[in-house]
Structure formats: structure tokens, C-alpha cells
Amino acid sequence: MINSAYTPPLDLIRRPRRNRQTAAIRALVRENRVHADDLIQPLFVKDGVGAPEPVGSMPDVQRLNVRSLLAEVAHLSALGIRAIALFPQIDSALKDPRGKYALAKKNWFFGLIHQVKTEFPDMLIVADVALDPYTDHGHDGVLDATTGDVANDETVHVLCQYSTHLAEAGADIVAPSDMMDGRIGAIRDELDHEGFTQTSILAYAAKFASAYYGPFRDAVGSTTGSKSPLDKRTYQLDPANLREALLETRLDEDQGADILMIKPAGLYLDVISAVRASTTLPVSAYQVSGEYAQIHAAARAGWLDLAKARDESLLAIKRAGADIILTYFARDVAQSLKG
Ligand code: PBG
């Protein structure tokens, strides 16, 4: 017979559970926290005065017109979010194979940036630099006439001009997301040459050819309408490669990037951690549309708790070594941090 009335204590010097027994002690020993200061809210914007349009594959995300964008920025700012990343949805009538509208003086996106900056001078504006919102084929650059592949140097040339237009409109940070070779150095030169020495470059340094960008492509309308997803493997990184990611981040650092980014985030925690160990620059990570959609979908099915899964996903990204996180959850997280 086992006497269950008395169990003599195990002879243990270390009882890690002592540090977990109450909420207060757990808070005291907590190693990582997500703070509103760390977060960048990506926002989709469109021209005109039409009502905000929901993005089907991204619950609670909408394409905003200028007026609703300004209201959203006021709201975010009140919640303590200090940076937004803007992505334009360009009307398909304005798209062409070369993405010429990107450099058009009358591109409404420049006016919109200017308006946000004027009304909210303290809100940091991150502007994506790539041609995919503007090209009718949805690739991030212009295509080589013979190979059909994205032409590197020609694309860089266009992106340099686009970057100065964005800086001139009021973007504080330009974020090349195109993965062309040599674009960080070329953009830095062009910005400096045009007098924008204080415009920062957030380099999408290690951007993988991921299946998780699908909902984003719906949101900006860069899908071509064909069933098969766009293949960007000649410029975005192979998901199998960690060393190559370190090469890319080193090149971007050497060419003058102010902040290095890894993208996607949750599936690439090892890359975040390796990049963190290899640089003294701030490291950011982009929790992409597919990561967001996945958590929402499971929560909708009643399979995951939305807020808990959201918070855990972001904490993991911080723990891996990201200082900064771009996430569609930024607003909700800031809201819940406020209590
Ligand atoms: C475009 C760009 C993409 C994303 C950010 N900038 C899509 C792509 O490369 O096809 C993805 C963001 C997301 O999925 O949330 N260069």
C-alpha cells in the first residue's frame, strides 16, 4: 500500500517552478517583451474616395482611402504606434510592363504620403520600394526582353528614382523589397546625391521566396489573375538557405542599410537569430500576410485563441532577436497593451 498522505520533498537545490508561481514573479523574470515602440503597422492604401474595402484573406484589414487612412493614423498614434508601412493598390488601368506610373509626377501615392506626413509629422512613414504594385505582370522589376527574367541593373536604376520620389514626398524610411543585387548602395548614393542624407534605408535584406505572401498580393492586387502564384525565385531567397541569407544581410549592411530585415518572420526564426549574432545594426522581421491569415483562420475555426496565438507568435520573433516587427497585428497588440 502506498501512503499518499505524506511525500517527503525531493532533495532539489533548483526548483525552476519557484520563478513561475505567481503572475508577479513571472513578470519579474520575463526575458522578452513586445512593446508598441517595436511595432510597425503595414497599411494598404488606394486612390479616390471610395469606401474602405476589406481584404478577403486578411480579416480586419482594409484598403483605405486617404480620409480613412488619416483617421487610422490618428487612432494608431493614440495607441502608441509610431511607425506605419504604406503599400499602394494601383488601379490596373495604370499598370504596364515597366511600371512607369511609379515614376509619374502625378502618382497619387506621393500626394498621399505628403498628406500623412503633413498632418502627422511625428508618425514614421516607411515606404516599400519595388515595382510590383505598378507592373501588369506583378514582378518587382522590369523584365529583360530576351530572357523574360527581371533585369537587375535596369530595375535598380528605376528603384533609385522611385526612392527619391518617396523621400521627397515625405517618407522617413525607404524599404527596398525587391531583392535586386546592389540596390542598397545605389539607392543610398542617389538619396545622398539628391540631398536626402537623412532618409533611412530599411533593407528587406533576407527576403525569401515564400508561399506566405499570397494574401498580400490579393491586397495590393499584384496577382496576375492566373491560378499559379507568381514565381519570384530568381530574385528572392531559397527558403533552404541560411548562409546565403547571411551573405545578403552582410552585403546590405556594407552598402549602407540602416536596418536589416528578415522576411517572413515566424518560419525563419533561425535566420533572425543568426543575423542578430552577425551584425550590430537593428534587426527587423516582417510577420507577413500569410502568417497573419493562418492565425486568424485557425482562430475563426475555433482551433486557436486569437490573442494568445498572436502574442506568442510575436514574442517568439522578439526572442529570436528582432528589435523591430512589422505586423498586421500591431494595432491590436498596442490596444491590448493599453488594457
Ligand atoms: C513586394 C512585397 C511583398 C510583400 C511586401 N512587399 C510581396 C512579394 O514579394 O511578392 C509581402 C508582404 C506580406 O505578405 O505581408 N515586393
Query: Which segments within 90-131 are labelled E, that is strand?
Result: 124-129
Sequence ranges of the domains in the chain: 33-338
| pLDDT higher than threshold 90 for residue 161 | yes
Given a cut of 80, whether residue 227 has pLDDT beyond it is: no
Nearest residue (by CA) to ligand 1, atom 8, is 213
At 3-12, the pLDDT tens digits run 678 999 999 9
pLDDT digits (tens, 9 = 90+) for 315-334: 999 999 999 999 999 999 99
Active-site residue, 207 included: yes
Exposure string over 38-63, b if 16+ CB within 10 A, otherwise e = bbbbbbbbbbeeeebeebebbbebbb
Per DSSP bridges, beta strands 324-327 and 39-46 are: parallel
The Å distance, Cα 122 to ligand 1 centre, comes to 26
In percent, the amount of the chain with pLDDT more than 90 equals: 94
- Please check the confidence at residue 2 and state whether its pLDDT lies above 80: no
pTM for this structure? Answer: 0.96
Name the band, by pLDDT with cuts 50, 70 and 90, for residue 229: confident
**Is residue 205 exposed (0-12), middle (13-18) or buried (19+ Cβ within 10 Å)?**
buried
pLDDT in tens, 65-105: 999 999 999 999 999 999 999 999 999 999 999 999 999 99
Residue ranges in the chain assigned as alpha helix (H): 23-28, 66-78, 108-119, 152-169, 183-193, 214-220, 243-254, 269-278, 289-300, 306-320, 330-338
Pocket test for ligand 1, best of 202, 216, 313 (most atoms within 8 A of CB): 216
187 exposed, middle or buried (CB, 10 Å; 0-12, 13-18, 19+)?
Answer: buried
The per-residue pLDDT for 228 is: 73
Cα–Cα nearest to 167, from 199, 197, 194: 199
Q: Name the CATH superfamily housing domain 33-338.
A: Aldolase class I (3.20.20.70)
Strand partners, 126: 85, 173
pLDDT at 3: 62
261 strand-pairing partners: 204, 284
**Cβ(128) – ligand 1 distance below 6 Å:** yes
pLDDT of residue 224: 59
* CB-based contact 323:284 (threshold 8 Å): yes
Asked if residue 140 has its Cβ within 6 Å of ligand 1, the reply is yes
pLDDT at 117 over 60: yes
Confidence (pLDDT) at 218: 85
How far is the centre of ligand 1, averaged over its atoms, from the C-alpha of 274 (Å)?
Answer: 22
Q: How confident is the model at residue 221 (pLDDT cuts 50, 70, 90)?
A: confident
pLDDT in tens, 248-289: 999 999 999 999 999 999 999 999 999 999 999 999 999 999
Ligand 1 atom nearest to 222, measured from its CA: 10
Omega before 9 cis (within 30°)? Answer: no
Contacts (Cβ under 8 Å, ≥6 apart) of 314: 34, 287, 325, 327, 329, 333
Give pLDDT tens digits for 128-141. 999 999 999 999 99
Residue 28 confidence (pLDDT) above 60: yes
Q: What percent of the chain shows pLDDT beyond 70? A: 97
Q: Is 263 a catalytic residue?
A: yes
Distance CA 185, CA 187 (A): 6
| Positive/negative CA dihedral, 109, 112, 118, 123 | negative
pLDDT at 99: 97
pLDDT of residue 220: 87
**Residue 339 pLDDT:** 85
